[in-house]
Amino acid sequence: MIFRILFVLTLIFFANEGFTLAPWWHRSGAFNIADVGNGLIWIGIFLTPLLVRKRKELVNPISALIFFYVLFASIHIVLAKANYGQSLFDGLIGIRHQFYYFSFFLFLLLFDDTKIIVQLLDTLVIISIILVILGIVNYFGPTILYHKWAHGQKMRGGITRAFIPGMSVVTFSALWVFNKWIGVNQKIITKASTIFLLAAHFFRQSRMRLIGLIFMMSSVLVIKRKWKPLLVLLVCSMATYVMLEAKIGKDIMANLFTSAYEDVVEQTGTMRPRLKEIRIDLKEFRRHPLIGSGLAAIRSTTGLGGSRLRLKLKDLSYRSDLGYTHWLKFYGMVGVVWLLLFFFFQAYYGIKALKKCVGMDKAIAMFTLTYLGYIIVSFFTLNHLMFPRGIVMVCLNSAIIIRLHFNSRSRIAAHDKRSQP
């Protein structure tokens, strides 16, 4: 059990580029520690089926979708050569991180019961708290992280945005500990962890991440009619926010709203480049509306040596600050249908599991649906589905959904068998 958890934590560590804890873990055009995670996935694919007996769960719609996606993404290697003259080798390098989707099969096989799932999720909460603390120390004290934003990510309304490593893990953990609190665990440590990780999102000042998190938390509390937890969450969050604001000396909440207003109305900040990217995305979609043109396999343009696309294609390559329109540009209508099915089957099996499960399983099922909702809402500007740090969390969530579905079905079948005379 410990080995399984360590294996997954190591994979998440690689997918998040080692949480920027060392300077050499990501050097553009030279080395990316996320590639080590790719190798780990392939090793797991060959070894895990030999070590795990139950494999019938691999037959499900999400498995089929993931197989299709990796095949479809690989076809873009050929399209990139035909349309843009990029070599097949460079195309393989450009598409390599999409193989992180195979982590779904590893997660599904390795986490076969509730106990190990809960242990993994609780461990991620501890790791997330440590990452937030590192971000706080890095912001107010010496620079201890190695990232281009380690000294602060630009100015937003006069405030230097904080950098917290592994935010995909932090958000994932925040939603888990929140659902654990309102579902089965009323301990003070669970409440405090929820408040702390929510406050970290205010500190980070990533607007869409914060909007998605608050929207899903509020929706769950309203749907479940949990008015007391909602009040506690608001009061404690505001208290934490006031302390943070007093320390920084700026009005963080007002800054989030005013900067968003200025970005949209005055087209300043991140809005102008995003609008430019959206126009490029839609233009490319109109040129290649069915399956895309191979842009998904474009190798990043850099100033370093090696084979690279010409500079004028720079605007067509990967971006992390748009989701839906980038997906449309890369994969066309086939990609849109795939995305709808991917979201639909997760929601379908998640809801089925939620209806059948009780206790901790029910809390986990509610968490998976909450995280799915967060992905759908925030995918407008956060590209969760094309970078390892997002792919690995989405695949983990999907695998948990399918595991809960099969486990609940097995329990019902076992109960019916015992009930027979």
Which has more confidence, 159 or 359?
359
Q: Residue 273 has what pLDDT?
A: 76
Determine the 3-state secondary structure of 33 from DSSP.
coil
Q: Which amino acid is at 87?
A: S
| Helix (DSSP H) and strand (DSSP E) numbers for the chain | 15, 4
pLDDT tens per residue across span 236-246 = 666 665 665 66
CA-based torsion, 103, 107, 108, 110: positive or negative = positive
CA distance 261 to 174: 27
pTM (2 decimals)? 0.88
Measured torsion, CA atoms of residues 113, 118, 124, 129, in degrees rounded to the nearest 10: 180
Residue-wise pLDDT for 276-288, tens only, equals 888 888 988 999 9
Q: Position 389: which residue type?
A: R
Answer whether 294's CB lies under 8 Å from 85's CB.
no
pLDDT for 188: 87
Q: What is the pLDDT of residue 227?
A: 72
Is the pLDDT at 178 greater than 90, yes or no? yes
| Mean pLDDT of all residues in 64-92 | 92
| pLDDT tens, position by position, 300-352 | 654 333 444 454 566 666 666 788 999 999 999 999 999 999 999 999 999 99
Give the residue among 42, 107, 63 at the shortest CA–CA distance from 399: 107
Q: Reply yes or no on whether the pLDDT at 267 is more than 50.
A: no
Residue 7 burial (CB < 10 Å; 0-12/13-18/19+)? middle
The mean predicted confidence, pLDDT, of the chain is: 83
- pLDDT, residue 237, reads 64
Q: Could you tell me how far CA 67 lies from the centroid of its own chain? A: 19
Q: Residue 247 is encoded by which pair of tokens?
A: 């320390």
Residues forming beta bridges with residue 27, ordered by sequence position? 31
Angle at alpha carbon of residue 394, lines to 392 and 395, rounded to 5° = 65
CA 45, CA 41: separation in Å to the nearest integer? 6
